[in-house]
Structure formats: C-alpha cells, structure tokens
Amino acid sequence: MSATTQPLTAEEFDRLDLPQDRNWELQDGEVVEVSFPLIVHRRIQKRVMTLLDPLFPQAEVLMEYPFQVGDHDKRSADVAVVSGNRAQAAGEQGILTGAPEMVVEVLSPSNTVMEMKRYRRLCLSHGTAVFLVIDPEDNTVDVFTKGIKDATFTVEDSLPVVLLDVNSAIPVLQIFQGITL
C-alpha cells in the first residue's frame, strides 16, 4: 500500500515551519526551495527595475514581488509591474492576489525549460499581460503575450514596453551593459 499525498493549500503552506535562511514557494501545491541567485541575476533584476520604474509612475515596480494564484501557488516574480490599485490592495493583504500585469524572469542555471513554461502559463492565464524572459547567457529578451512567444530581442534592438497605458521602449543593450557585456 502506498501513501497518497494531497497538494498543499496556501493556508497550509503558510503554517509550515520552514527554515528561514532559505527561499520557499508553493508551486502547484508542492513546497519548492528556490535556489540562491547569482550576483549577475540580482544585477539584471536591479537594472530592469531601474529601467521600468520611471515608465510606470502610476504602478509599482518591484523585485521579488510575492503573489498568490488560486489556492496552490504562492510565487515571487523576479521583477513585476503591478497597477496602482492592485499594488495598494497587495500592500494591505501582504501579497498580490493573481499574477502581476508584467512578469520579468531572469534565467538561472537552475531553471528548466518545463518549469519556465509552466510558470509562464500560470502567469499568463491569471492576469499577466506581458511575460519577459531575460537570458544573461546570450543577452536576449523573449517576450510572451497570450501564451505565445511574440519575439526575441537582442542587444541591437529596442524592447517595446506596452502596458497600463504606457507605450515606450527600452534599448536591450541597457539591460546587459556593464553586467554581461
């Protein structure tokens, strides 16, 4: 006879006594330790936040933005853009309900293709309008909307930023310059 386990709920996850010196997420009802990021990862996060912040004065741009989708997922976006009203409610509740309007993920050696696909699908089906994947290995940015890959941008390109009444662009080179280039 084998034991069966049910996926954990967000409420059960919150009650767990997990080691505080590590980062944890609830992914599809499973407790997952999130790997410790490399310096290059944090530098790109900071750079992206610095580039996006002035474009969204009526929204909130944060690194490691915590959000909850349904009852079995509590995640943290590397960088997120959230509308002002939703950000205010998230501050009051302690966590954003639903996925951020924009999610930016910086690839790490620990990311698998399948994990990233599942994460992207989760976000895009729960409120994310734009999902960016930044690859520090080849200095590219992949843009996904509505579940499909729209384009890949290189350091020769400008990345269009169209969200929450913002219509702008960021030179991709600015994301990587001085960090990986």
124-129 contacts, C-beta under 8 A, 24 or more apart: 124/99, 126/69, 126/70, 126/98, 126/99, 127/98, 127/99, 127/100, 127/101, 128/99, 128/100, 128/101, 128/102, 128/103, 129/101, 129/102, 129/163
The per-residue pLDDT for 1 is 47
Residues of the chain under the 70 pLDDT cut = 1-5, 25, 147
pLDDT of residue 113: 87
Burial 17-51 (b: 16+ CB within 10 A, else e): eeeeeeebbbbebeeeeeeebeeebebbbebbbeb
Sign of the C-alpha dihedral computed for residues 126, 129, 134 and 138 taken in this order: positive
User: Which pTM was predicted?
Assistant: 0.88
The CA-based diameter of the chain, rounded to the nearest angstrom, is: 59
**Secondary structure string (H, E, C) spanning 16-68:** CCCCCCCEEEEECCEEEEECCCCHHHHHHHHHHHHHHHHHCCCEEEEEEEEEE
Distance (Å, whole) CA 47 – CA 155: 15
Indicate the residue type of 69: V
pLDDT at residue number 2:
52
Q: Tokens 């909130």 identify what position?
A: 60
Question: What are 105-158's pLDDT values in tens digits?
Answer: 999 888 888 989 999 999 999 999 999 999 999 999 999 998 677 899 999 999
pLDDT at 61: 98
Q: Which domains does the chain have, with CATH numbers?
A: 37-176 (3.90.1570.10)
